[in-house]
Amino acid sequence: MVFSVRLVRDGFLEVFEDDTLIAIYRYGGGIRKPYFYPIYAPKGMMVTRDEPPDHIHHRSLWTAHGDVNGVDLWSEKPTAGFIKCADNPTISLRSDVCVLNSINLWLSVEGGRLMDESRVVAFWKTRNDIRLIDYEVEFRASYGDVTLGDTKEGGIVALRVVDSMRESVGGGVIMNSEGGVGEPQCWGKRARWCDYTGRVDGEIVGITIFDHPSNPRHPTYWHVRAYGLFAVNCFGLRDFEGRKDVDGSMKIDRGSNVKFRYRIMLHRGRLSRDDIEEYYREYASI
């Protein structure tokens, strides 16, 4: 068995590949939203950070949105809602993959139920200095109509890269599938994939996120910043387009659902745009 998991304490689940820690899922106790921290690229390089002082609500690898029926579930202000894991995640282990399934409740600060979320995260066996993580999120309008509002403050998949990888101070590089390089050419732009590459402990390491062609509003918009935020957000059109006459909100009728699929690729070494395109085509064909 290549993969294994260990429940260290309630709400704190470690994921191992070949006895090497690759991620920890934090979902219990007083946590405002379930998230993974840390996340390791191949060869034990930690590529995400938790609770940076400039944005304490940035939680390594997480899912959140700033306007769900008018409720903020992105920040961690006293008035913000929270996301609660309904039960312990279920785990499926094979020799080549570890799959974590987490059922989460999105709640107002008063505890009112807004919607349900199914989060399925699959860690694939590392090959050739590449670690793939499939990240699927399904929102279900179980308690009434749901409107995911137009705001840049959100990410169905959101990461905060470690400081040494940041474009602003670490010399990192952001690039996307459409030829954009750097925050000005990638933030708020539509692209099939986006990559954030920089240095960790003196070595080059990168994170690429792929937007699956089956997703709503593909190719998605990217809330990616030089200071280290790296998020997929197809809702914040007013900010991204710089227009007040557009509305990026999405309504989910009661009893309906919407599903999003992404792949996160952690890679050692710098990859060219052609290299990443090859990995993207493989994912898009699934």
CA quadruple 119, 208, 57, 260: dihedral sign: negative
Using DSSP's 3-state secondary structure scheme, residue 82 falls into strand
Q: Is the pLDDT of residue 106 over 80?
A: yes
Query: What confidence tens digit (pLDDT) does each residue in 168-214 have?
Result: 998 999 999 999 999 999 999 999 999 999 999 999 999 999 999 99
| Averaged pLDDT score across all residues of the chain | 97
Q: How far is CA 169 from CA 120, 184, 228, 266, in A?
A: 33, 16, 10, 21
Specify the CATH architecture of the domain 3-284: Distorted Sandwich (2.70)
Q: Is the pLDDT of residue 239 over 90?
A: yes
Q: Domain segments of the chain: what residues? A: 3-284
Q: Is the pLDDT of residue 1 over 70?
A: no
Q: Is the pLDDT of residue 85 over 90?
A: yes
Query: What confidence tens digit (pLDDT) does each residue in 117-143 have?
Result: 999 999 999 999 999 999 999 999 999
Q: Count Cβ atoms within 10 A of the Cβ of residue 197 and give its class: 0-12 exposed, 13-18 middle, 19 or more buried.
A: buried
